[in-house]
Amino acid sequence: MVRSANLGFPRVGAFRELKHAVEAYWKGQSSEAELQQVAKDLRAAHWKLQQDAGIDVIPSNDFSFYDQVLDMIATVGAVPERYNHQAGLVDLTTYFAMARGRQQDGQDVVAMEMTKWFDTNYHYIVPEFKASTSFALSSTKAVDQFKEAKALGIQTRPVILGPVTFLLLGKSYEEGFDQLSLLPSLLPVYAELLKALEAEGATDVQIDEPCLVLDLSADAKAAYQNAFEQLAGHTNLQLHLATYFDGLRDNAALAFGLPVASVHLDLRRAPSQLEAALNAVKPTQKLSLGVVDGRNIWKNNLNASLEVVQKAVEKLGSDRVIVAPSCSLLHSPVDLDSEQKLDAELKGWLSFAKQKLAEVVLIARAAAGERDDAAFAANAEAIRARETSPRIHNPAVKERVSGAVAADLQRDSAFEKRITLQKASLNLPPLPTTTIGSFPQTQEVRAARAKFKKGELSREQYDAFLEEETTRCIRIQEEMDIDVLVHGEFERNDMVEYFGEKLEGFAFSQFGWVQSYGSRCVKPPIIFGDVSRPEAMTVRWAEFAQKQTSRLMKGMLTGPVTILQWSFVRDDQPRSETCKQIAFAIRDEVVDLEKAGIKVIQIDEAALREGLPLRRGDWKQYLDWAVDSFRITAGGVKDETQIHTHMCYSEFNDIIEAVAAMDADVISIETSRSAMELLDAFVAFKYPNEIGPGVYDIHSPRVPKQEEMESLLHKALDVLTPEQIWVNPDCGLKTRGWAEVKPALEGMVKAAKNVRQELKNRQAA
Ligand code: 39S
Ligand code: ZN
């Protein structure tokens, strides 16, 4: 019998119940027992939902209060010293201290680092490793949750993050230390965990090793061999190896050579790997086929998937084939049935986590000879309707992209000439100060927007509220004496969703939440058709804001790659094509802002780096169209108009050429946590344009001292010319509170002024 499996279910809840419970606990509004109860109820509901859907293999331990990598850190007791964890179980306070830092009860510790999970918009907590790191089983979570499901009569397959991916995703803070050298001391803890699961009656375990889809060193390959041999030797559990987000490619022989009972493949991202897998799979192994997209929201083409599954069944027999989503459904919204506002036609094209499980079951049953003809016919009709819908095609948009010429990608003049004209026109002091765009999205702002959406505030009332907030934000910046102001973005729910709501070819959901980090969620818009801009999207607020001040007001836009990366993207044409369509829409907005008198315009490409393909050999093709898309957005304005861009986080070394090729006049980057080390790439490359290396870490509630920011500026001045440098925080301020933002920015402006004075004195001397 062909079986159906799931690799993980969204933990946040259809209405973000977990977010609300966790945040209430953090605020001291509820007890740990109350939080645990909400979590337990959610888990029970999710297991039940999967059971009702007919899924044969249901996961457990996919639940997390914050992140599954942090869960593994706690499980193996890899708690960094600063959290003062003594031996024994890691409690919830220590767990959340690692995630968010803690300033309470005499403790003052910073959070662990957070970074993007492969090429998703999900963030994981980065394990910290040193030569002295030791491990001990320090959490009973995996075992507890297995037992919890069992008590409900559901036999689950626990999911754990594999030991090699766990080590590879970590960071070593000691020069030359190789974290894989910790494998021998880590494996016994994994073995102990497997033994504990077995003792409670588990028969199978899913081991996630997504690093198997990356370019691997010889050491990493050896670590895989070694790790799985040891684990298999210490347990009677069936080990199920899960890979996802790309194909195994040259690691296929390695993966199938491991002593595992099955291997899971992502056949959405890498359908062509099936052939090699069918040849490499050993007679004792099963193959798990990830045919339903866990990363996107389109209805599965059941006939196409069935064909793939049947091909495997023919070769392996039905007992050795498993049907599954391509990866954990963590990256999907929960339930399409909650959506009340999507039009029926569009809704008919979509599938969220709950619907995906039904698809998996339909495919598995059909492959086992029990095809639900009615469901297959309805599905075929939905697929056909989407393919032929006039709503997805706009010939004018297609023509504009295919007709793009070199001139569309070029500013009129080279940077040297532009910057001279800009300096004359903008008349800024040296080391000009600015912010990245957003100011605190307070409860009040969100509540007003929610009221407006519910019809409890009229358009006029909501606009009046926003005008008041914007004006106040401008006055505050003027009082602080910031040079280039922003309007604060109070009218925006999210830097991507806001644009999605205004562009043609996009749809948006009411409850399509996906976890981004911890309790924070995003609601990615859905790009279903050719993208165009029916009317200006930001000019009203930019114009209003500029009228309130004699200072320069910066126009704020999200760039095409970031909009693409943080949306659910249509899968019926290349991403590059969709990206260029968005680029032309943004270009028109840039031109309109210029016409409205805005002289400085920022086009954020926060997600440019995370969009990089996972294999290096695929990078160039991506970077080519990503850079071209950005250049299309900026190519329509006069030399005098200054184009800024912003990129979140670090690691520019390997893409610095592409960043330079974007040719933004000014780029702001995150550097404050890494003490300006990030600048190395810009210096080594002799980056010619202007740079705002962030001097203030906005990801922490801590207010930086003025001297710290001055010292960071000195570091920047050691390697860059004074004419090149801008002074700004390292990201937008929307997640912070005014109480921290005000003193921090005041200190930042003072730091800039002090250093300006030093430069003046030096010149005079
Ligand atoms: N991806 C995207 N798309 N956008 C980003 O900014 C980022 N940044 C990085 C990387 N990826 C990104 C991740 N950082 C949040 C903050 C930072 C993030 C990601 C998410 C965040 O704050 N998310 C909010 C949250 O989890 C939701 C933001 C949102 O859409 O709470 N808010 C809406 C709004 O402001 C809806 C707010 C809401 O929940 O309008 N309203 C309540 C409701 O509808 C009512 C509120 C009230 O009455 O007080 O129930
Ligand atoms: Zn940022």
Would you state the torsion angle of the CA atoms of residues 81, 86, 90, 93, taken in this order, to the nearest 10 degrees?
A: -70
- What percentage of the chain has pLDDT greater than the value 70? 99
633-677 confidence digits (pLDDT tens) = 999 999 999 999 999 866 777 898 999 999 999 999 887 666 666
355 lies in the same domain as 254: yes
438 lies in the same domain as 489: yes
Question: Is the CB of residue 164 less than 8 Å from the CB of residue 223?
Answer: yes
| From 446, 526, 610, mutation site for ligand 1 pocket: most ligand atoms within 8 A of C-beta | 446
Ligand 2 centroid to Cα of residue 62, in Å, is 29
Res 384 pLDDT > 80: yes
Res 14 pLDDT > 70: yes
Whose Cα sits closest to atom 35 in ligand 1?
Answer: 493
Residue 521 Cα: closest atom of ligand 1: 26
Give the ligand whose atoms come closest to the C-alpha of residue 121: 1
601 lies in the same domain as 724: yes
Q: Is 523 in the pocket of ligand 1 (CB under 6 A)?
A: yes
CA 109, chain centre distance (Å): 25
Question: Going by C-beta distance under 8 Å and a sequence separation of 6 or more, which residues neighbour residue 590?
Answer: 555, 557, 601, 603, 633, 634, 636, 637, 643
Per-residue model confidence (pLDDT) at position 681: 80
Residue 445 Cα: closest atom of ligand 1: 35
Per-residue model confidence (pLDDT) at position 204: 98
Which two tokens mark 646? 């912003």
Ligand 1 centroid to Cα of residue 494, in Å, is 6
326 lies in the same domain as 475: no
Question: Is 79 part of any domain?
Answer: no
565-603 confidence digits (pLDDT tens) = 999 999 999 999 999 999 999 999 999 999 999 999 999
Question: Is 707 part of any domain?
Answer: yes
Res 760 pLDDT > 90: yes
Ligand 2 centroid to Cα of residue 603, in Å, is 12
Whose Cα sits closest to atom 21 in ligand 1?
Answer: 520
Per-residue model confidence (pLDDT) at position 672: 64
Res 280 pLDDT > 80: yes
Q: Is 340 in the pocket of ligand 1 (CB under 6 A)?
A: no
Question: What is the Cα–Cα distance from 635 to 416, expressed in whole angstroms?
Answer: 16
Question: What is the Cα–Cα distance from 6 to 323, expressed in whole angstroms?
Answer: 9
Give the ligand whose atoms come closest to the C-alpha of residue 734: 1
Mean pLDDT of 602-625: 96
Q: Is 584 in the pocket of ligand 1 (CB under 6 A)?
A: no
Per-residue model confidence (pLDDT) at position 568: 98
Give the ligand whose atoms come closest to the C-alpha of residue 667: 2
Q: Is 443 in the pocket of ligand 1 (CB under 6 A)?
A: yes
264 lies in the same domain as 384: yes
Ligand 2 centroid to Cα of residue 265, in Å, is 33
Ligand 1 centroid to Cα of residue 230, in Å, is 44
Q: Is 489 in the pocket of ligand 1 (CB under 6 A)?
A: no
Mean pLDDT of 81-97: 96
- DSSP per-residue codes, 407-476: GGG--SS-HHHHHHHHHHHH-PPSS-BB--SB----HHHHHHHHHHHHTSS-HHHHHHHHHHHHHHHHHH
Give the residue carrying structure tokens 């004699």.
550
Last residue of a domain, one of 353, 388, 423: 388
Residue 434's beta-bridge partner residues?
484
Question: What is the Cα–Cα distance from 102 to 657, expressed in whole angstroms?
Answer: 39
Q: Is 522 in the pocket of ligand 1 (CB under 6 A)?
A: yes
Per-residue model confidence (pLDDT) at position 454: 95
Per-residue model confidence (pLDDT) at position 699: 80
Whose Cα sits closest to atom 38 in ligand 1?
Answer: 446
Whose Cα sits closest to atom 13 in ligand 1?
Answer: 516
Whose Cα sits closest to atom 30 in ligand 1?
Answer: 493
Per-residue model confidence (pLDDT) at position 654: 86
Look at residue 270 and give its three-state secondary structure: coil
Which two tokens mark 573? 């044409």
Question: What is the Cα–Cα distance from 77 to 185, expressed in whole angstroms?
Answer: 12
Ligand 2 centroid to Cα of residue 647, in Å, is 5
Per-residue model confidence (pLDDT) at position 687: 87
| From 494, 558, 565, mutation site for ligand 1 pocket: most ligand atoms within 8 A of C-beta | 494
383 lies in the same domain as 491: no
Structural domain harbouring 270? 3-65+121-388
378 lies in the same domain as 460: no
Question: Is the CB of residue 72 less than 8 Å from the CB of residue 160?
Answer: yes
579 lies in the same domain as 714: yes
Q: At what angle do helices 443-454 and 459-480 cross, to 10 degrees?
A: 160
Whether 240 is a known active-site residue: answer no
Give the ligand whose atoms come closest to the C-alpha of residue 517: 1
Distances (CA, A) of 174 to 46, 108, 177, 745: 42, 23, 6, 33
Mean pLDDT of 258-278: 98
Q: What is the pTM of this model?
A: 0.95
Whose Cα sits closest to atom 15 in ligand 1?
Answer: 520
Question: What is the Cα–Cα distance from 360 to 302, expressed in whole angstroms?
Answer: 9
Mean pLDDT of 527-552: 98
| From 441, 510, 516, mutation site for ligand 1 pocket: most ligand atoms within 8 A of C-beta | 516
Give the ligand whose atoms come closest to the C-alpha of residue 604: 2
pLDDT band at 106, cuts 50/70/90? confident
CATH number where 254 lies? 3.20.20.210
Pick the catalytic residue from 240, 487, 644, 699: 699
Q: Is 447 in the pocket of ligand 1 (CB under 6 A)?
A: yes
Counting the structural domains of the chain, the total is: 2
Question: Is 366 part of any domain?
Answer: yes
Per-residue model confidence (pLDDT) at position 673: 63
Question: Going by C-beta distance under 8 Å and a sequence separation of 6 or more, which residues neighbour residue 105?
Answer: none
Ligand 1 centroid to Cα of residue 283, in Å, is 48
Question: Is 734 part of any domain?
Answer: yes
Res 747 pLDDT > 70: yes
Question: What is the Cα–Cα distance from 741 to 720, expressed in whole angstroms?
Answer: 27
CA 448, chain centre distance (Å): 27
| From 67, 514, 522, mutation site for ligand 1 pocket: most ligand atoms within 8 A of C-beta | 522
CA torsion through residues 670, 672, 675, 676, sign: positive
Ligand 1 centroid to Cα of residue 447, in Å, is 12
424-450 confidence digits (pLDDT tens) = 999 999 999 999 999 999 999 999 999
Ligand 2 centroid to Cα of residue 47, in Å, is 37
628 lies in the same domain as 560: yes
Question: Is the CB of residue 204 less than 8 Å from the CB of residue 236?
Answer: no
378 lies in the same domain as 421: no
Mean pLDDT of 699-724: 90
pLDDT band at 317, cuts 50/70/90? very high
123-165 confidence digits (pLDDT tens) = 999 999 999 999 999 999 999 999 999 999 999 999 999 999 9
Mean pLDDT of 339-356: 97
Q: Which is more confident, 115 or 31?
A: 31
Per-residue model confidence (pLDDT) at position 169: 97
Per-residue model confidence (pLDDT) at position 571: 96
Question: Is 481 part of any domain?
Answer: yes
Last residue of a domain, one of 388, 407, 442: 388
Question: Is 398 part of any domain?
Answer: no
Q: Mean pLDDT score of the chain, rounded to an integer?
A: 96
Question: Is 485 part of any domain?
Answer: yes
Give the ligand whose atoms come closest to the C-alpha of residue 20: 1
Per-residue model confidence (pLDDT) at position 650: 63
Question: Is 39 part of any domain?
Answer: yes
* Cβ neighbourhood burial of 683 (10 Å; 0-12, 13-18, 19+): middle
pLDDT band at 678, cuts 50/70/90? low
444-492 confidence digits (pLDDT tens) = 999 999 999 999 999 999 999 999 999 999 999 999 999 999 999 999 9
459 lies in the same domain as 592: yes
Number of other CB atoms surrounding residue 476 within 10 Å = 18
Last residue of a domain, one of 351, 369, 388: 388
Question: Going by C-beta distance under 8 Å and a sequence separation of 6 or more, which residues neighbour residue 429?
Answer: 483, 756
430 lies in the same domain as 344: no
Give the residue carrying structure tokens 């494998």.
183
CA torsion through residues 13, 14, 19, 24, sign: negative
Ligand 1 centroid to Cα of residue 15, in Å, is 13
Q: Is 714 in the pocket of ligand 1 (CB under 6 A)?
A: no
Q: Is 665 in the pocket of ligand 1 (CB under 6 A)?
A: no
